[in-house]
């Protein structure tokens, strides 16, 4: 299979490369003081590891990904709109629909070149969590509802990045499948479901691609936070799978730092939390934290720093080449959902362009992965470059409607309220379909939506989130210069009520995975539930025939032939016992045929218990350090604190509105929206662990006490300073 060849190529590179710059990591470790070790296992300045100048240990720079580089300017977190120009590639939801790991490899390698240009040593991505529910606000950043497809595409991106000498952080480990309660949520699931579905993409990537780091998620699994879950981080990840890299926390995901070290969580991010270093030093002093546990984390971090820290590569990046690569991947990933023959366009049509996303295309997700693009070519730009202008509705014979989910409907930090397109868009589509003209709907967005107009429209082309050159991809596809060859990496239900677990998803802290393994196509197939478009669906401008799969030893073979009159790509899918076990994408000229051989991934025949305990409901008041920040509004003092914190996002939104129309205004508005959602869904503890010096842990404790009416206790918390040694970088 093609993705196996990619793995072999990368492994040959890693084995040949000279590893390391330090003469003796063990000697350096032995010379470190306890305070230096406590600093090393904590980040600093939001995106860096702590340097130890006395011993010549440099700082390692990280940056958000995973579909492009978000290298922030200056130090600290200065907002998602203040970053260096970089290429906004198609998101994982898009790339997965190409079913071509070579796309993910090329994307990863290009991002790594940009990382090296800006002096970034490790990219935070890819995200490979299973798409359990179509409303998850971060689904645009994940690959698939199927663990094999997610694992293969994720591994290819990892290999692409690391082939250029840049590390990755595969995230979010694990069961991070919703956003509303992600900072304190509890994913309740049986072990068989956890192992055979939700951990599978991570296992595949660890075993095939050797990622530099793994990022553990915010949430709990059956009551235990991922950042201190020894079963997850040590027993499974390290002992069973053989992972040898660094485990870092998501930003603000630490609860008990000492418990995290004992569980195998090496690096706390973003760091600069005095209380965590205090806890470590106190635990060393009283013997509750063995020095060996701290040394193990330091050793992992030193190896990582040793492997990946290097000076910025000032060789100019081929920005135009990356812009074109983004268009090619987007075109190969687009899914033609419906076509009654109106596509491809001939060039003789009189076109009327409609929809808000024609001029203001949505090409990337909203949240921490939002990229400052080097340039943007949207549909309007691409059509104008060809001299094609929209004519009036009366004069037209074909209508192109550009519709989809805007950033206000789909964003990291919150789950969608429903699976519908905005009402004004649905009304526009209905009105234009009723004209009797040919209507082509071009969709943008990171997740499935209900399509009540599917029977009325002449064609539906789904671009997902195609990156900064999506307009070029759109026009090539519409005019047949590129043949749609994407296939859905997730099921599109007829309506949200058909989704398993729709009644309870995202509605509370305890997220019960009652459907077990029956996620996506497994559920719809098992229960004969009709869907709008099934997993693997996608049309083409040409036609293909497939022979039956034939088993030959350990492999299965199938012959696929292009029986149409256009060059095109087709995906061969091998299902065994109702599960995807292998695939390969082939590209064929008219009349060409090819026999593909697919060797199924080995499966673990072990079956674990799938039982779980549903926790008793928790009272929302009095609030605790783990309460959702919106719960503070239950008391007078809590409302004052809540409004004071949320005013930061409100000020950003007001400042954005004063800017002239353009990309900067749009990005700042998105940033303010994202910040508000993050603040609302945060917990006092996680907010403190993210904010570092600007909101120390004793402030979070004070917030809780004041909200609960304990004014004196709250005041005492605010006045209690956390004493801690200077950071090593401050000593010099």
Domain around 202: 33-71+82-308
Judge whether 244 lies within some domain.
Answer: yes
Which one of 535, 555, 570 terminates a domain? 535
User: What does the alpha-carbon distance between residue 620 and residue 637 come to, in Å, rounded to a whole number?
Assistant: 16
Q: What is the pLDDT of residues 100-148, one digit of tens each?
A: 999 999 999 999 999 999 999 999 999 999 999 999 999 999 999 999 9
Residue 301 near residue 294, CB atoms below 8 Å: no
Reference 364, options 679, 47, 83; nearest CA is 83
Question: Which residue, of 249, 277, 308, is where some domain finishes?
Answer: 308
Q: List, by residue number, the catalytic residues.
A: 250
Does the residue 600 lie in any domain?
A: no
Banded pLDDT at 244 (limits 50, 70, 90):
very high
Q: Are residues 423 and 501 in the same domain?
A: yes
Residue 725 lies in a domain: yes
The pLDDT assigned to 408 comes to: 84
Query: Do 354 and 243 have their domain in common?
Result: no
Q: Are residues 453 and 500 in the same domain?
A: yes
Q: Tell me: pLDDT of 648 over 70.
A: yes
Q: Do 135 and 52 share a structural domain?
A: yes
Question: Considering its fold, how many domains does the chain have in total?
Answer: 3
- Would strands 438-444 and 459-462 be described as parallel, antiparallel, or unpaired? parallel
* 567 domain residue, yes or no: no
CB-CB contact of 106 with 160 (8 Å): yes
- pLDDT at position 311 is 81
Distance, CA of 488 to CA of 389 (rounded, Å): 31
Asked if 662 and 720 sit in the same domain, the reply is yes
CATH label of the domain that carries residue 482: 3.40.50.1700
Residue 75: pLDDT band (50, 70, 90) is low
Calpha distance 123→346 (Å, rounded): 43
Dihedral-angle region of residue 91 (phi above 0 means left; psi in -120 to 50 means alpha; beta otherwise): beta
79 has pLDDT over 80: no
Output the CA–CA distances (angstroms, integers) from residue 545 to 523, 563, 576, 606, in the order listed: 28, 7, 20, 37
What per-residue confidence (pLDDT) applies to 621? 95
Is 553 among the domain residues? no
Q: Is residue 592 part of a domain?
A: no
Q: Are residues 143 and 227 in the same domain?
A: yes
pLDDT of residue 230: 98
Going by pLDDT thresholds of 50, 70 and 90, the confidence category of residue 706 is very high
The 3 state secondary structure assigned to 412-423 is CCECCCCCCCCH
Q: Decide which of 273, 308, 343 is a domain's last residue.
A: 308
In a domain, 131, yes or no: yes
Provide the Cα torsion 682, 686, 687, 690; round to 10°.
-130
Domain co-membership, 373 together with 425: yes
| pLDDT in the model for residue 7 | 39
Looking at the fold, whether 464 and 426 belong to one and the same domain comes out as yes
Same structural domain, 160 and 280:
yes
The pLDDT of residue 2 is above 70: no
In this structure, are 284 and 358 located in the same domain? no
State whether 223 and 347 are in the same domain.
no
Cis omega before residue 270 (within 30°)?
Answer: yes
CATH number of residue 190's parent domain: 3.20.20.300
**Are 244 and 346 members of one domain?**
no
Answer whether residue 575 is part of any domain. Answer: no
Is pLDDT at 22 greater than 60 in this prediction?
Answer: no
pLDDT tens readout for residues 480-538: 999 999 999 999 999 999 999 999 999 999 999 999 999 999 999 999 999 999 999 99
Strand blocks (E) in 458-592: 459-462, 492-493, 510-512, 531-533, 544-546, 550-552, 555-562, 568-576, 579-588
Mention every residue, 6+ apart, whose C-beta is less than 8 A from residue 685: 255, 625, 626, 697, 700
């Amino acid at each position: 299979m093609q993705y196996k060849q990619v793995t072999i190529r990368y492994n040959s590179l890693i084995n040949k490369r000279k590893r390391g710059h330090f003469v003796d990591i063990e000697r350096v470790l032995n010379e470190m003081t306890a305070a230096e070790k406590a600093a090393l296992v904590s980040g600093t300045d939001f995106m860096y590891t702590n340097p130890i100048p006395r011993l010549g240990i440099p700082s390692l720079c990280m940056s958000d990904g995973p579909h492009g580089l978000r290298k922030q300017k200056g130090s600290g977190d200065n907002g998602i709109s203040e970053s260096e120009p970089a290429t906004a590639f198609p998101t994982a939801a898009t790339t997965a629909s190409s079913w071509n790991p070579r796309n993910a490899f090329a994307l990863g390698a290009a991002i790594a070149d940009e990382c090296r240009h800006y002096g970034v040593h490790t990219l935070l991505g890819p995200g490979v969590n299973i798409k359990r529910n179509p409303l998850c606000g971060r689904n645009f950043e994940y690959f698939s509802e199927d663990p094999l497809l997610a694992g293969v595409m994720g591994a290819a991106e990892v290999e692409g990045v690391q082939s250029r000498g840049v590390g990755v952080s595969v995230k979010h480990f694990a069961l991070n499948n919703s956003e509303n309660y992600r900072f304190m949520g509890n994913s309740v699931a049986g072990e068989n479901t956890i192992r055979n579905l939700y951990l599978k993409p991570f296992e595949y990537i660890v075993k095939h691609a050797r990622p530099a780091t793994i990022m553990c998620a915010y949430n709990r699994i059956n009551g235990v936070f991922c950042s201190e879950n020894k079963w997850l981080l040590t027993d499974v990840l390290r002992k069973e799978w053989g992972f040898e890299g660094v485990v870092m926390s998501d930003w603000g995901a630490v609860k008990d730092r000492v418990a995290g070290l004992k569980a195998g969580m090496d690096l706390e991010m973003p760091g600069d939390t005095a209380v965590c270093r205090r806890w470590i030093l106190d635990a060393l002093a009283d013997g509750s934290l063995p020095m060996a546990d701290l040394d193990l984390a330091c050793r992992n971090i030193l190896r990582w720093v040793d492997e990946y820290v290097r000076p910025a590569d000032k060789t100019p990046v081929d920005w135009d080449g990356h812009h074109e690569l983004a268009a090619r991947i987007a075109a190969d990933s687009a899914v033609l959902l419906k076509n009654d023959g109106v596509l491809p366009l001939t060039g003789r049509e009189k076109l009327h362009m409609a929809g808000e996303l024609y001029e203001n295309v949505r090409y990337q997700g909203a949240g921490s992965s939002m990229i400052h693009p080097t340039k943007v070519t949207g549909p309007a730009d691409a059509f104008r470059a060809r001299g094609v202008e929209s004519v009036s509705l009366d004069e037209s014979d074909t209508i192109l409607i550009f519709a989809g989910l805007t950033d206000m409907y789909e964003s990291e930090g919150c789950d969608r309220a429903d699976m519908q397109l905005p009402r004004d868009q649905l009304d526009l589509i209905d009105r234009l379909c009723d004209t009797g003209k040919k209507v082509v709907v071009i969709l943008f967005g990171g997740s499935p939506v209900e399509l009540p107009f599917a029977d009325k429209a002449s064609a539906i082309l789904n671009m997902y989130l195609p990156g900064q050159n999506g307009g070029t991809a759109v026009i090539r596809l519409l005019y047949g210069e590129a043949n749609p060859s994407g296939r859905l990496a997730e099921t599109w239900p007829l309506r949200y009520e058909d989704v398993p677990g729709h009644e309870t998803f995202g509605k509370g802290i305890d997220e019960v995975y009652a459907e077990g393994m029956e996620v996506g196509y497994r559920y719809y197939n098992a229960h004969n539930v009709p869907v709008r478009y099934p997993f693997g669906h996608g049309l083409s401008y040409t036609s293909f025939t497939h022979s039956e799969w034939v088993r030959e030893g350990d492999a299965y073979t199938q012959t696929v032939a292009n029986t149409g009159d256009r060059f095109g790509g087709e995906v061969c899918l091998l299902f065994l016992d109702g599960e995807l076990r292998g695939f390969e994408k082939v590209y064929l000229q008219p009349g060409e045929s090819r026999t593909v051989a697919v060797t199924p991934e080995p499966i673990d025949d072990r079956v674990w218990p799938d039982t779980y305990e549903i926790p008793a409901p928790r009272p929302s008041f009095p609030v605790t350090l783990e309460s959702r920040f919106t719960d503070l509004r239950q008391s007078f003092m809590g409302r004052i604190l809540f409004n004071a914190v949320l005013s930061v996002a409100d000020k950003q939104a007001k400042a954005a509105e004063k800017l002239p129309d353009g990309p900067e205004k749009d990005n700042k508005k998105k940033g303010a929206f994202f910040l508000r959602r993050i603040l609302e869904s945060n917990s006092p503890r996680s907010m403190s662990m993210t904010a570092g010096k600007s909101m120390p842990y004793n402030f979070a404790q004070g917030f809780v006490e004041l909200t609960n009416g304990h004014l004196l206790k709250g005041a005492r918390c605010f006045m209690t300073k956390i004493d801690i040694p200077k950071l090593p970088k401050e000593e010099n």
